Homo-oligomer: A and B are copies of this chain.
Amino acid sequence: MPYFDAASAAPLHPVAREALLASLDEGWADPARLYREGRRGRLLLDAAREAAAEAVGCRPDELVFTPSGTQAVHRGVAGALAARRRVGRRLLHSAVEHSSVLHAAEVHEAAGGTRAELAVDRTGRVAADEAAAALTPDTALVCLQSANHEVGTEQPVEEVAALCQEAGVPLLVDAAQSLPWGPVPGAWSLLAASAHKWGGPPGVGLLAVRKGTRFAPQGPYDERESGRSPGFENIPGIVAAAASLRALRAGPETMDEAARLRRLVERIRTRVPELVPDVEMVGDPVHRLPHLVTFSCLYVDGETLLHELDRAGFSVSSGSSCTSSTLTPSHVLRAMGVLSEGNVRVSLPYGTAEADVDRFLEVLPQVVRSVRERLGVPPGPEAVAASAGGAAAAPAPDEEPDEPAGLVVDSLGRRCPIPVIELAKVIGQVPVGGTVTVLSDDEAARQDIPAWCAMREQEYVGERSAERGAAYVVRRRV
């Protein structure tokens, strides 16, 4: 049963399993104690710290273990901001950071700090020159991920780190997604990562704070882990995490495996648009993680798609609104301005069989077709536009004077992807140059109607307030 969601959590690496078992009997005692069981634990912890530091590219005394990547980010952001309070209270981060960074930023803002977002382009990438321009003198900290967790786009971390260094502002890199594939280059100041992303066990993260970086740990003091991560150390987990990271870096296997997975991902990137109509490939085609690929399927809801893929034996994830507890599309896809409906993220774990990828490519077109059929979408990219007569189509009752008369589609109360399907169904009835207005109270429509226009070369006029939800106006161009 192929598991294609390594970006959420990778299955335990065999080396991690072995190291965990070995250290269960050696690493349970308190490493702060001086008796033999404690000394044994301390030796294991020290060795794990050295191995992890080498893989990260820092000194052992710069690295502490945390109970998760999330906590590494939370504590890293809070400690760096607090240490620079006198310089300024402005936090600058990209619009596509992991939620752990965004939640840390919210706390900072609630406590009186300010924040600013670095926008990304349609591939999800930050522009280094925009980062340079945003580095105001009161900037206390910059957060930039090494690579995006949803679309795989790599960020220009090395360039931004150099800019930050020049400006004297620390850079915190969330390296959760990229660390399995290699160290983060450049003059970053802080780095956070999570072991279960590289095949280590859950329950282990790491936070590196390079010497010379001012850092003031927040929250209650605890003497463990240099005062930077409270709580009794999970030594068996830490040993397993470090051993598997070291194993990934030890030989040429990782580079070979990265290249192999990159070829499989390239196959998906090439074949999916050929096999499935109305698909948008998402993320940077070149600057990307080796194992991760994301695409969105028009006229499909992500939840059903995931469910059907699961039934067919494939475990993937999605940034579609219907798959989130808040019913809002992923903030990453929103910041990129790309389609969110029918979104699928495929992230291949180490060792993924080529045959499984081929079978995925075999299954996916059928699955998408069957979901579309159930939603009443006729097959073929042109067919949707050609199938006349959305039931709700009617002349707009309340045209604004500067707009030509047009149709109104009432999709109130209907969830993604229905508003976009309704729009596609009526666009053929609109004369070229005429408009259609979609009424929708679904949060995904705000993102997906403009994205549909871009894909279909229609003009997105804009959004108007409405009594309920919003009114999205589209002008037919082709």
Contact = CB atoms under 8 A, between A and B. Distances in A.
Interface stretch (A98-106, A254-262, A293-301, A416-424): A98-106
B8 A29 contact: yes
A413 interface: no
A219 interface: yes
A3 interface: yes
A124 interface: no
Of residues A12, A33, A194, A306, which shows the largest number of chain B Cβ atoms within 10 Å of its Cβ?
A33
Contacts of A67: 67-68, 71, 203, 231, 234
A221 B103 contact: yes
Closest 6 CB pairs of A and B: A68-B231, A203-B234, A67-B67, A35-B315, A103-B220, A70-B231
A36 to B, nearest CB: 6
A71 B29 CA distance: 18
Contacts of A194: 232
Interface string A238-279: 000000000000000000000000000000000000000000
Contact of A234 (B12, B106, B201, B232): B201
Contact of A28 (B12, B220, B233, B236): B12
B24 A20 contact: yes
A245 B9 CA distance: 27
Contacts of A465: none
Contact of A232 (B5, B24, B196): B196
Nearest to A205: B231
A316 B5 CA distance: 46
Interface string A64-84: 000111110010000000000
A197 to B, nearest CB: 9
A88 interface: no
A217 B201 CA distance: 26
Contacts of A196: 28, 232
11 contacts: A9-B28, A28-B201, A35-B315, A74-B230, A99-B222, A100-B220, A106-B221, A202-B235, A203-B234, A219-B219, A234-B237
A33 B232 contact: no
B232 A307 contact: no
A310 interface: yes
Contacts of A74: 219-220, 230
A320 interface: no
A201 B203 CA distance: 11
A1 interface: yes
B231 A69 contact: yes
A201 B24 contact: yes
A107 interface: yes
Nearest to A8: B30
Nearest to A197: B232
A225 to B, nearest CB: 11
Contacts of A222: 70, 99-100, 103
Assembly stoichiometry (copies): 2
A244 to B, nearest CB: 12
| Residue of A202, A236, A306 with highest tally of chain B CB at under 10 A | A202
Contacts of A17: 24
Contacts of A20: 24
A317 interface: yes
B236 A202 contact: yes
A196 B234 CA distance: 10
A103 B203 CA distance: 23
Interface string A339-370: 00000000000000000000000000000000
Nearest to A105: B220
Nearest to A309: B35
A92 to B, nearest CB: 17
Contacts of A223: 325
A34 interface: yes
Contacts of A432: none
A220 B104 contact: yes
Nearest to A3: B37
Contacts of A8: 29-30, 33
B306 A236 contact: no
Contacts of A234: 67, 201-203, 234, 237
Interface in A25-60: 25, 27-30, 33-38
